[in-house]
Homo-oligomer: A and B are copies of this chain.
C-alpha cells in the first residue's frame, strides 16, 4: 500500500467515523422525540376513550322530557 493510499484509507475512515457519530446523535434525538410522541398519543387515546365513555359512545344524544 502506497503512502498515498494509506492516507486515503485514513481519511475515509475518519470521515465515516464522523458520519456514524452524527447519525448516532440524530438517532438519540429521534428516539427521545418518538418516546414523547408515544406518551402524548397514549394520553390522547386515553382521554378520547374516557370522553367517549362519558358521552355514551356515539354522538351526544340528550333528551329531556318534562311532563307536567
Contacts and interface: CB of A to CB of B under 8 A. Distances in A.
Interface of A: 1, 5-6, 9-10, 12-13, 16-17, 19-20, 23-24, 26-27, 30-31, 33-34, 37-38, 40-41, 44-45, 47-48, 51-52, 54-55, 58-68
Number of copies: 3
B62 A63 contact: yes
Contacts of A16: 13, 16-17, 20
Q: Is the interface of A mostly helix, strand, loop or mixed?
A: helix
Contacts of A12: 13, 17
B23 A24 contact: yes
Contact of A30 (B31, B54, B59, B65): B31
